[in-house]
């Protein structure tokens, strides 16, 4: 209503349009408008609408807060100068020109609030036939921002129906410009890479990253273990692994985790998970007897570290042990039934003796599969 009153055009833009046309509820809705930031500020302030300052203004974005929700509204713009990382923009009122500077056809559509679709590059057709294409010439779009190479992969994994359905000239453009990713910050790459790892066709897409010489520029090992990766992506299909769990399959050793961290600045928790999996994926496996979970339970009981159980869950996913994962998630860590206080009552007085006795009882308790109760353990102490 505010925009109409002032005769500015306002349309929903980009990802939200793509989601709405796919029958998905958009996570957040971005708008595009012919009004400049200054005009929007004046209009919102006059109407008493709160503005959130998030430094987007020089790129043309104003964030308005309405009904407990933030809405980003960006002035239509043209890229004047691009350096492969960011762009200098100037404002325009030409919707076609704004659509032209967006990355993929499925992300370049606008939706009027009356339900009219503005689609300058066949984005809706591509969405219906599940095709991922760059707007205009792939080479030009990529050179404006090299991160778009990874965005291509991400949307491929989200929208395309089957692996391997790429246009040859797109792959060629990606290969020729892969090196540009070396100049993109690790944090931006990691955000995209994680989304790729959580999408479909992940084995195909990661193999493609190696074929197109992308891997080395985004922190992945040069000689990544692609066979292991293929095996683990199969194992893990319905288990919702963390991105790091999947990625670790490429790694031969802990140096690969360190190098990834140096390039992408992953979180401490992600790094620790990678190191844990690389270290334990081979020898911490189910036991052949009637208690397959025992090695994992023992490991957890002996561990002095925080969140060991969530790391073990990820290890079981990595190993494709769906049934054991369920059982392990339902297992509650039993608490050791004997305390130093109990031993004092039995006449063990010195601290050192209490420590030794508790350790011996813990071992007995562990051997029993954590089933022995206090009475059994204390009578065991008498024998000991």
Domain harbouring 27, CATH code: 3.30.460.10
Phi, psi of 368 (to 5 degrees): -80, 5
Mark the ranges of the chain whose per-residue pLDDT is less than 70: 54, 383-384
Q: Is residue 320 helix, strand or coil?
A: coil
Q: Does some domain include residue 40?
A: yes
At 263 the pLDDT is: 96
Q: Does some domain include residue 170?
A: no
Cα–Cα distance measured from residue 174 to residue 180, given in angstroms and rounded to the nearest whole number: 10
pLDDT tens-place string over residues 105-147:
999 999 999 999 999 999 999 999 999 999 999 999 999 999 9
Q: Give 187: exposed, middle or buried? Use CB within 10 Å, 0-12, 13-18, 19+.
A: exposed
Find the domain containing 46 and state its range: 1-125
DSSP 106: G
Residue where a domain terminates, one of 98, 125, 152: 125
Q: Does some domain include residue 302?
A: no
pLDDT tens-place string over residues 229-250:
999 999 898 899 999 999 999 9
* Cβ-proximal residues to 205 (8 Å cutoff; 6+ apart), any chain: 153, 156, 157, 163, 196, 199
Cα–Cα distance measured from residue 274 to residue 280, given in angstroms and rounded to the nearest whole number: 10
Q: Is residue 83 helix, strand or coil?
A: coil
At 384 the pLDDT is: 61
Closest by CA to 38, choosing from 18, 58, 17, is 58
Q: Does some domain include residue 306?
A: no
Q: Does some domain include residue 333?
A: no
Do the beta carbons of residue 3 and residue 9 sit within 8 Å? yes
Residues facing 194 on adjacent strands: none
At 342 the pLDDT is: 79
Residue where a domain terminates, one of 96, 125, 154: 125
Mean pLDDT of the residues in the chain:
91
Q: Does some domain include residue 61?
A: yes
At 383 the pLDDT is: 67
At 349 the pLDDT is: 74
Q: Does some domain include residue 370?
A: yes
Q: Does some domain include residue 130?
A: no
Domain count, the chain: 2
DSSP 335: P
Residue where a domain terminates, one of 125, 152, 169: 125
Strand segments, DSSP code E, in the chain are 10-13, 30-33, 50-52, 61-66, 69-75, 77-82, 87-91, 110-112, 117-118
Cα–Cα distance measured from residue 75 to residue 92, given in angstroms and rounded to the nearest whole number: 8
């Amino acid at each position: 209503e505010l925009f109409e009153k002032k005769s500015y055009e306002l349309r929903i833009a980009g990802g939200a349009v793509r989601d709405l046309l796919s029958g998905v509820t958009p996570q957040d809705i971005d708008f595009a408008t012919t009004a400049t930031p200054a005009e929007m500020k004046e209009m919102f302030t006059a109407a008493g609408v709160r503005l959130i300052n998030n430094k987007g203004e020089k790129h043309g974005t104003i964030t308005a807060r309405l009904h407990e929700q933030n809405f980003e509204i960006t002035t239509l713009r043209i890229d004047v100068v691009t350096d492969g990382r960011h762009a200098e923009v100037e404002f325009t009122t030409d919707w076609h020109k704004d659509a032209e500077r967006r990355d993929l056809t499925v992300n370049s559509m606008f939706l009027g609030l009356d339900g009219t679709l503005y689609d300058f590059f066949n984005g809706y057709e591509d969405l219906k036939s599940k095709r991922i294409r760059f707007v205009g010439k792939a080479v030009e779009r990529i050179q404006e921002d090299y991160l778009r190479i990874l965005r291509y992969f991400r949307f491929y994994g989200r929208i395309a129906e089957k692996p391997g359905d790429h246009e040859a000239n797109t792959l060629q453009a990606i290969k020729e410009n892969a090196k540009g990713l070396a100049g993109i910050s690790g944090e931006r790459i990691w955000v995209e890479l994680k989304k790729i790892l959580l999408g479909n066709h992940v084995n195909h897409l990661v193999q493609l990253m190696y074929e197109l010489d992308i891997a080395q520029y985004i922190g992945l090992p040069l000689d990544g273990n692609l066979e292991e990766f293929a095996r683990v992506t199969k194992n893990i299909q319905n288990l919702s692994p963390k991105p790091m769990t999947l990625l670790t399959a490429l790694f031969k050793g802990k140096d690969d985790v360190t190098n990834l961290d140096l390039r992408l600045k992953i979180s401490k928790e992600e790094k620790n998970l990678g190191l844990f999996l690389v270290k334990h994926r081979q020898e911490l496996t189910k036991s052949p007897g009637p208690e397959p979970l025992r090695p994992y339970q023992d490991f957890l009981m002996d561990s002095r570290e925080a969140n060991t159980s969530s790391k073990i869950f990820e290890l079981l996913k990595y190993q494709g042990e769906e049934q054991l994962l369920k059982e392990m998630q339902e297992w509650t860590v039993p608490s050791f039934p004997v305390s130093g206080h109990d031993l004092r009552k039995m006449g063990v007085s010195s601290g050192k003796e209490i420590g030794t006795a508790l350790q011996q009882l813990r071992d007995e308790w562990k051997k029993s599969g954590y089933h022995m109760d206090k009475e059994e353990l204390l009578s065991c102490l008498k024998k000991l």
